[in-house]
Amino acid sequence: MDRRYWMEISYRRMVMQTTNLKRALIGALFFLPFSTIADQANNSGTPESQSSELDIRPYQAEYKVFRGGSEYGKGSRSLLQVEDGLWYLETSTDVSWLFLSDRRQEKSWFKVFDDHVVPLQYKQKRSGTGPDYLSFVLFDHRLKKVKEIGDYDEFEAVYQSGVLDGASYQFQMMRDIQAGVKDITYPIIMSGENKEYRFKLIGEEELETPFGKLATVKLERIRGNKKRQTYVWLAKEYGYVVARIWQAKGGSEQADLQISHFKWLKQAPHPELKTALKVSAPPDKTK
C-alpha cells in the first residue's frame, strides 16, 4: 500500500471519530423534553402566567466537555426573564478537534404556567465544518398548530398539550425534579419528528466538578437501546441546573460535560429579547 492510501485511511478514521464525538456532545448538552401542561384559556391561546412556589431565577452557566480525560470543547446555558412569566433559554456548544469544528446554538421563548412550560418559539442553528443549518419552530396555541421551517426540514402538525421544543424541556425537567417527580416522560418536537424521552431519578450524590464540589440529584435516561447510556446530575443549590452529563455507547465513554462556572443574574434582559418575541413567523423561504 502506498503512503497516500494510508493517509486517506487515517483521515477517514479521524473524521469518523470527530463526527461521533460531536454527536455525543450535542446529545449531551441538548438532551431532554416535558410532561403535561395546564389547559390554555385566554384570547391569545396561552394561559396567563401565575406565581410559583418553586424558585425560578435568571442564571448563566458555563461548561467544559471532556472525553477520555481530554478537553474537547465548551458549552453555555443562560436563562433570562423577558417579563413576568415570560422566559428565554439559550444553550450552545463549541467543539473542535484538530482542524474540524462544530458550533450549535438553541434558543427557546416560553411561558411558565402552574410550574409547567408553554413553548412559544424555538430556534436552532449549526455552523462549522460541513453544511450549516438553521431551523425555526413556532407554536400557535390559538390555532393549536406547531410549524417548523428550516434549511432541510418543513413540518406542520396539530399541537398536542404538553409537547415541548428542543430546549424548553430542559427547564421543565429542572422544575419537575424540584417538585419531587421521580419518573418523568417528555414529548418533544425536534427536526420535524415527535420524540419521547424518559428519565428515572436514581438518588442524591456529591459530585466533583471544575466548578467545585456540588450536592446533586442523579438521573438516568431510560432507552430502548441498552447499548447507550446517559446520566444527568442536577445541582440542588443552584436551581437544579445541569451540573454534569455523561454519555457512553457500548461501554465506551463518548462525552462528559461538566459545569465550570455559574452565576445568578440580576440584570434585566436586553431589549432585543422582547423585540424577538414580536416575530410572528420565521422568514418566508419562498421570497
Q: What is the pLDDT of residues 203-244, one digit of tens each?
A: 999 999 999 999 999 999 998 877 889 999 999 999 999 999
Kindly tell me if the per-residue pLDDT of 85 is higher than 80: no
**CB within 8 Å of 2: residues ≥ 6 apart:** none
User: What pLDDT sits at residue 162?
Assistant: 87
Q: What does residue 177 show for φ and ψ, rounded to 5 degrees? A: -65, -40
Indicate the range of 104-118, 206-220, 270-284 predicted with least confidence. 270-284
User: What pLDDT sits at residue 36?
Assistant: 24
DSSP state of 184: E
Q: Is 165 exposed, middle or buried (0-12, 13-18, 19+ CB in 10 A)?
A: buried
Residue 184: pLDDT band (50, 70, 90) is confident
Kindly tell me if the per-residue pLDDT of 277 is higher than 90: no
Mean pLDDT of the chain: 76
Q: What is the pTM of this model?
A: 0.75
User: What pLDDT sits at residue 267?
Assistant: 60
E-assigned strand segments in the chain: 59-67, 70-83, 86-97, 100-113, 116-128, 133-140, 145-150, 154-158, 183-190, 193-209, 212-222, 228-235, 241-249, 252-264
Give percent of the chain with pLDDT exceeding 70: 73
pLDDT, greater one: 193 or 274: 193
For the ranges 97-111, 138-152, 235-249, the maximum mean pLDDT occurs at 235-249
**How far is Cα 125 from Cα 145, in angstroms, rounded to an integer?**
22
Residue 152: pLDDT band (50, 70, 90) is low
Exposure string over 81-91, b if 16+ CB within 10 A, otherwise e: bbeebbbbbbb
Strand, coil or helix: 160: coil
Q: What angle (nearest 5°) sits at the alpha carbon of residue 78, between those of residues 72 and 79?
A: 155
Kindly tell me if the per-residue pLDDT of 287 is higher than 80: no
**How far is Cα 36 from Cα 233, in angstroms, rounded to an integer?**
23
User: What pLDDT sits at residue 213?
Assistant: 97
Kindly tell me if the per-residue pLDDT of 119 is higher than 90: yes
DSSP state of 164: B
E-assigned strand segments in 59-153: 59-67, 70-83, 86-97, 100-113, 116-128, 133-140, 145-150
User: What pLDDT sits at residue 55?
Assistant: 67
Kindly tell me if the per-residue pLDDT of 24 is higher than 60: no
Kindly tell me if the per-residue pLDDT of 169 is higher than 50: yes
User: What pLDDT sits at residue 236?
Assistant: 94
Kindly tell me if the per-residue pLDDT of 19 is higher than 60: no
Place of cell 463549541: 94
**How far is Cα 240 from Cα 57, in angstroms, rounded to an integer?**
11
Q: What does residue 73 show for φ and ψ, rounded to 5 degrees? A: -175, -170
User: What pLDDT sits at residue 207?
Assistant: 97
Residue 53: pLDDT band (50, 70, 90) is low
DSSP state of 237: G
What is the mean pLDDT of the segment spanning 118-125? 91
